[in-house]
């Protein structure tokens, strides 16, 4: 009739003979077989283990559960003829069932209050962010006032890691952006026979906006994530606690060098970015648009003055501060799990890019108002 | 000595080298069914490397390893459903609750309905001496001892035949450690398990293990505790002559006498 049991009915007794392997792997079939047993008017059910081969906890559990179902229907369930080596599994289940107390609602899903929870999270995050930014700002100020040797060395290392190492990729991106700008502006200016104004467009947008913006976004992706991941891992492995008990302020040793390092590195990186962008423009001018290198540099000298260069460069330290603070802050917020680390690293990058763009639009409006 | 015993794990001619350093040189080991084998050795003798080689997490330079008659190859699926591993710090997945951690192997290796998975996981959690309050917690909310128990519940989730324990009592206070030893003894006796454990705890060694494998001279010496303490090897003499080991041995004898 079935692979795992045979059923005999004797007057008021239901005799169930177990056979084959009652083990974890066969659990689905076992469940099926047990569910198919029908009761008529029996008063007793006997599980007998004549042909039972392998038995394990999962098998014992499913057997016990079914026996309990029978008891609920008013039958008395008995286990007969089990060998000791088999019965010990069953004994196990019986013992555990005796101490198992369900906490009501333990497995029920928690009710969701999206609005209330949302507001609560918003408030909590705001307080946390204000608190941390203040804390870090104070630590940075203290660090600048009383720089320790440790900080200087680490800062230089950070300038290298976040700035020098990023030069090739930032220059590459800006060079390509210069090419794109030159092409797009030339297409429009050609209609008026004013090709030479391509230089104005490329130079102004690179110096005032794109050079620093692209450098900052690349750095946010490279270093913002690195800050968050490094500090988060240190937090998880208790390295930060170790620094604390050694009497070192983690802000002093970990955050300040990163913030200062990036604030030094990003303006310098912007210079490289600007140069690469101009090079891209000039390259397209010379090869495609009939504006040779000399004409490009003449026009450049006419259209650009110190202000334009400074507009870009003054933004760089602010962007750097935003990237470094977001990255380190999110890193320090990691606690508990590896997944949290991944989530906060993503948050660090997304937020720093968002903040960069917000800050850039503010700068643009302010500079336009004061005629800088 | 090995006559008449079925070997559930068989290691032949294992060689492990790290650069110029040879850790294992032609190591042979057979683990018998239903025994608890303790693995000891000084630091750098390759206890972890041996364990990782058996589990297919380390690629040995030479040699064959068979577990339950199945050859083990580096990073290839082994007898996953038949072994459970308790890593040193538990290695519970930090993003999941204890309950979910224990359910995970069941979900991966079977098509059981959700309720059945849940019930089985709860069963295992109770079996290692935890309760439902602990089941709903995340690993970082648990104490070290509870984390080990939870990890043991996960190792037992698929009804394994072999249990590997890496330093099961390291970092536990003596009371928890003794409790954990009791738990291992109880599980071994009641679930037909073969247990291989790396341990430095002499109390565990004398309280739990049937045989001891000592890693010395790039090879291995396996014997019962009674016999191995008489072995002439200097490291073994030093290890078992240590006051802690002597005390643990005396305590074990007293327990056996009672």
Among A144-153, A219-228, B85-94, B171-180, the minimum mean pLDDT is found in: A144-153
The confidence score (pLDDT) of residue A225 equals 93
Block residue for tokens 């380190």:
A328
Mean pLDDT of B78-85: 85
**Sign of the C-alpha dihedral computed for residues B90, B96, B99 and B105 taken in this order:** negative
Whether residue A192 lies within 8 A of chain B, CB to CB, comes out as no
> What does the alpha-carbon distance between residue A21 and residue B143 come to, in Å, rounded to a whole number?
38
Pairing of strands B7-18, B21-32: antiparallel
Mean pLDDT of B120-133: 88
Whether residue A102 lies within 8 A of chain B, CB to CB, comes out as yes
Closest CA to B213 of B232, B235, B203, B228: B228
Strand spans (E) along chain A: 5-10, 13-22, 44-55, 76-80
**Residue A233, token pair as written in the block:** 């891992």
Give, rounded to a whole angstrom, the gap between the first and last alpha carbons of chain A.
92
Q: How confident is the prediction for chain B on average, in pLDDT?
A: 87
Could you tell me the pLDDT band of residue B1, with boundaries at 50, 70 and 90? very low
Q: What is the SS3 assignment for A89?
A: helix
> What does the alpha-carbon distance between residue B89 and residue B176 come to, in Å, rounded to a whole number?
15
Long-range CB contacts (within 8 A, 24+) of A350-357: A351/A326, A352/A220, A352/A224, A352/A322, A352/A323, A352/A326, A352/A327, A353/A217, A353/A220, A353/A221, A355/A322, A355/A326, A356/A213, A356/A216, A356/A217, A356/A220, A356/A319, A356/A322, A356/A323, A357/A213
pLDDT beyond 90 at A27:
no
Could you tell me the pLDDT band of residue A105, with boundaries at 50, 70 and 90? low
> What does the alpha-carbon distance between residue B4 and residue A172 come to, in Å, rounded to a whole number?
72
Question: A51 or A233, which is more confident?
Answer: A233
Pairing of strands B7-18, A76-80: unpaired
A87 and A133 assigned to the same domain: no
Query: Residues 6 or more apart from A40 whose CB is under 8 A from it?
Result: A9
> Which residues on chain B are in Cβ contact (under 8 Å) with A57?
123-124, 127, 159, 191
A156: in domain: yes
Of chain B, the percentage scoring pLDDT greater than 90 comes to 26
pLDDT beyond 60 at A45:
yes
How many other CB atoms are found less than 10 A from the CB of residue A69?
A: 16
Mean pLDDT of A184-202: 87
**Residue A224, token pair as written in the block:** 């913002």
Could you tell me the pLDDT band of residue B2, with boundaries at 50, 70 and 90? very low
Could you tell me the pLDDT band of residue B170, with boundaries at 50, 70 and 90? confident
* R_g of chain B, CA atoms, integer Å: 18
* Contact assignment for B123 to A96 by CB distance below 8 Å: yes
A241: in domain: yes
> Which residues on chain A are in Cβ contact (under 8 Å) with B138?
336-337
Q: Which of B112, B127, B191 sits opposite A27 (nearest CB)?
A: B112
> What does the alpha-carbon distance between residue A344 and residue A357 come to, in Å, rounded to a whole number?
20
Among A243-252, A255-264, B23-32, B85-94, the minimum mean pLDDT is found in: A243-252
Block residue for tokens 């490279």:
A222
A48 and A134 assigned to the same domain: no
A338 and A239 assigned to the same domain: yes
* Contact assignment for A336 to B140 by CB distance below 8 Å: yes
- Tally of domains in chain A: 2
Could you tell me the pLDDT band of residue A100, with boundaries at 50, 70 and 90? low
For the segment B42-53, what is each residue's pLDDT rounded down to a tens digit?
888 888 899 999
Among A77-86, A271-280, B79-88, B134-143, the minimum mean pLDDT is found in: A77-86
* Contact assignment for A99 to B111 by CB distance below 8 Å: no
Could you tell me the pLDDT band of residue A102, with boundaries at 50, 70 and 90? low
A105: in domain: no
ipTM exceeds 0.95:
no
Cα distances (Å, whole numbers) of residue A40 to A9, A44, A48, A75, A90: 9, 11, 19, 11, 26
pLDDT beyond 70 at B83:
yes
- β-partners of residue B224 are B211
A228 and A280 assigned to the same domain: yes
A10 and A154 assigned to the same domain: no
A37: in domain: yes
**Sign of the C-alpha dihedral computed for residues A157, A158, A164 and A165 taken in this order:** positive
* Contact assignment for A336 to B138 by CB distance below 8 Å: yes
Cα distances (Å, whole numbers) of residue A192 to A20, A75, A189, B19, B36: 91, 98, 6, 71, 90
Mean pLDDT of A63-90: 84
Among A104-108, A190-194, A269-273, A327-331, the minimum mean pLDDT is found in: A104-108
Mean pLDDT of A232-246: 83
> What does the alpha-carbon distance between residue A308 and residue A311 come to, in Å, rounded to a whole number?
5
Closest CA to B107 of B115, B117, B121, B97: B117
> What does the alpha-carbon distance between residue B154 and residue B103 come to, in Å, rounded to a whole number?
8
* R_g of chain A, CA atoms, integer Å: 36
Strand spans (E) along A131-178: none
- Establish, for the pair of chains A and B, how many residue pairs have beta carbons separated by less than 8 Å: 62
For the segment A312-354, what is each residue's pLDDT rounded down to a tens digit?
899 999 999 999 988 988 888 888 788 889 999 999 999 999 9
A111: in domain: no
CATH code assigned at A73:
3.30.750.24
A197: in domain: yes
Whether residue A272 lies within 8 A of chain B, CB to CB, comes out as no
A74 and A161 assigned to the same domain: no
pLDDT beyond 50 at B195:
yes
> What does the alpha-carbon distance between residue B62 and residue B143 come to, in Å, rounded to a whole number?
40
Whether residue A96 lies within 8 A of chain B, CB to CB, comes out as yes
CA torsion angle for B232, B234, B235, B240 (degrees, to 10)? 60
How many other CB atoms are found less than 10 A from the CB of residue A82?
A: 19
- Kindly identify which residue of chain B lies nearest to residue A100, measuring between CA atoms: B126
A249 and A294 assigned to the same domain: yes
> Which residues on chain A are in Cβ contact (under 8 Å) with B191?
56-57, 89
* Contact assignment for A107 to B118 by CB distance below 8 Å: yes
Query: Residues 6 or more apart from A303 whose CB is under 8 A from it?
Result: A199, A200, A203, A204
The alpha carbon of residue A91 is apart from the nearest alpha carbon of chain B, in Å, by 10
A272: in domain: yes
pLDDT beyond 60 at B106:
yes
The alpha carbon of residue B152 is apart from the nearest alpha carbon of chain A, in Å, by 15
The alpha carbon of residue B49 is apart from the nearest alpha carbon of chain A, in Å, by 23
Q: Which of B132, B139, B159 sits opposite A106 (nearest CB)?
A: B132
> Which residues on chain B are in Cβ contact (under 8 Å) with A102?
132
> Which residues on chain B are in Cβ contact (under 8 Å) with A336?
94, 138, 140
Q: Which of B133, B139, B159 sits opposite A57 (nearest CB)?
A: B159
Strand spans (E) along B115-233: 162-166, 194-198, 211-216, 219-224
The confidence score (pLDDT) of residue A149 equals 65
Among A210-214, B72-76, B81-85, the minimum mean pLDDT is found in: B72-76
For the segment A297-308, what is each residue's pLDDT rounded down to a tens digit?
889 888 888 888
* Contact assignment for A24 to B116 by CB distance below 8 Å: no
H/E element holding B67? strand B62-67
> What does the alpha-carbon distance between residue A51 and residue A68 come to, in Å, rounded to a whole number?
22
pLDDT beyond 60 at B167:
yes
The alpha carbon of residue B88 is apart from the nearest alpha carbon of chain A, in Å, by 15
The conformation of residue B169, written as its DSSP 8-state character, comes to: T
Q: How confident is the prediction for chain A on average, in pLDDT?
A: 86
Q: Final residue of a domain: which of A77, A99, A121?
A: A99
Among A11-20, A164-173, B213-222, the minimum mean pLDDT is found in: A11-20
pLDDT beyond 80 at A268:
yes
A153 and A88 assigned to the same domain: no
* Contact assignment for A338 to B94 by CB distance below 8 Å: yes
The alpha carbon of residue B215 is apart from the nearest alpha carbon of chain A, in Å, by 31
A156 and A43 assigned to the same domain: no
> What does the alpha-carbon distance between residue A166 and residue A225 come to, in Å, rounded to a whole number?
14
CATH for the B34-62+73-257 domain, from 3.30.470.20, 3.40.640.10, 3.40.50.261, 3.40.50.300: 3.40.50.300
| Host domain of residue A74 | 5-99
- Kindly identify which residue of chain A lies nearest to residue B186, measuring between CA atoms: A92
């Amino acid at each position: 009739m079935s692979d795992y049991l045979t059923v005999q009915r004797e007057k008021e007794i239901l005799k169930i003979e177990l056979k084959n392997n009652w083990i974890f792997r066969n659990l689905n079939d076992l469940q099926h077989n047990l569910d198919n047993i029908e009761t008529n008017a029996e008063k007793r059910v006997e599980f007998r283990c004549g042909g039972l081969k392998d038995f394990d906890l999962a098998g014992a559990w499913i057997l016990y559960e079914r026996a309990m179902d029978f008891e609920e229907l008013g039958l008395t369930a008995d286990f007969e003829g089990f060998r000791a080596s088999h019965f010990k599994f069953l004994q196990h289940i019986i013992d555990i069932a005796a101490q198992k107390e369900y906490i009501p609602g333990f497995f029920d899903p928690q009710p969701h209050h999206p609005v209330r929870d949302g507001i609560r999270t918003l408030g909590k995050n705001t307080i946390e962010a204000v608190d941390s930014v203040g804390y870090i700002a104070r630590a940075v100020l203290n660090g600048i006032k009383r720089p320790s040797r440790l900080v200087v060395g680490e800062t230089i290392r950070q300038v290298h890691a976040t700035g020098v190492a990023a030069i090739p990729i930032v220059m590459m991106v800006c060079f390509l952006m210069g090419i794109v700008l030159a092409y797009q502006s030339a297409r429009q200016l050609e209609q008026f026979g004013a090709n030479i104004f391509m230089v104005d467009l490329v130079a102004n947008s690179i110096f005032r906006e794109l050079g620093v913006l692209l450098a900052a976004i690349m750095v946010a992706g490279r270093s913002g994530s690195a800050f968050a991941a490094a500090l988060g891992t240190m937090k998880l492995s208790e390295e930060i606690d170790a620094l604390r008990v050694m009497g070192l302020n983690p802000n002093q040793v970990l955050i300040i060098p990163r913030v200062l390092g990036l604030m030094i590195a990003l303006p310098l990186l912007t210079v490289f970015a600007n140069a690469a962008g101009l090079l891209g423009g000039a390259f397209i001018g010379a090869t495609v648009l009939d504006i040779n290198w000399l004409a490009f540099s003449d026009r450049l000298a006419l259209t650009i003055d110190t202000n334009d260069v400074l507009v870009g460069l003054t933004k760089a330290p602010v962007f750097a501060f935003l990237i470094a603070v977001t990255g380190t802050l999110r890193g320090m917020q990691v606690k508990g799990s590896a997944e949290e680390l991944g989530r906060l690293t993503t948050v660090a990058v997304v937020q720093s890019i968002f903040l960069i763009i917000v800050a850039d639009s503010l700068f643009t409006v302010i500079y336009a108002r004061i005629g800088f | 000595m090995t006559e008449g015993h079925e070997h559930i794990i068989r290691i032949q001619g294992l060689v492990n080298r790290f650069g110029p350093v040879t850790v294992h040189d032609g190591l042979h080991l057979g683990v018998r069914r239903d025994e608890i084998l303790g693995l000891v050795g000084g630091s750098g003798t390759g206890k972890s490397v041996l364990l990782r080689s058996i589990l297919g997490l380390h690629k040995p330079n030479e040699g064959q390893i068979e577990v339950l008659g199945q050859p083990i190859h580096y990073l290839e699926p082994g007898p996953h459903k038949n072994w459970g591993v308790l890593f040193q710090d538990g290695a519970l997945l930090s993003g999941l609750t204890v309950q979910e951690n224990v359910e995970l192997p069941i979900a991966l290796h079977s098509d059981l309905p959700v309720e059945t998975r849940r019930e089985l996981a709860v069963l295992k959690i109770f079996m290692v001496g935890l309760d439902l309050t602990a089941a709903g917690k995340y690993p970082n909310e648990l104490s070290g001892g509870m984390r080990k128990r939870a990890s043991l519940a996960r190792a037992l989730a698929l009804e394994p035949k072999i249990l590997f324990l890496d330093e099961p009592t390291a970092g536990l206070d003596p009371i928890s450690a003794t409790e954990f030893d009791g738990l291992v003894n109880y599980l071994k006796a009641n679930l037909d398990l073969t247990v291989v454990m790396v341990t430095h705890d002499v109390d565990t060694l004398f309280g739990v293990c049937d045989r001891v494998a000592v890693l010395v001279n790039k090879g291995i010496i396996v014997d019962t505790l009674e016999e191995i303490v008489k072995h002439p090897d200097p490291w073994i003499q030093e290890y078992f002559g240590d006051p802690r080991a002597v005390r643990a041995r005396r305590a074990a004898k007293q327990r056996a006498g009672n």
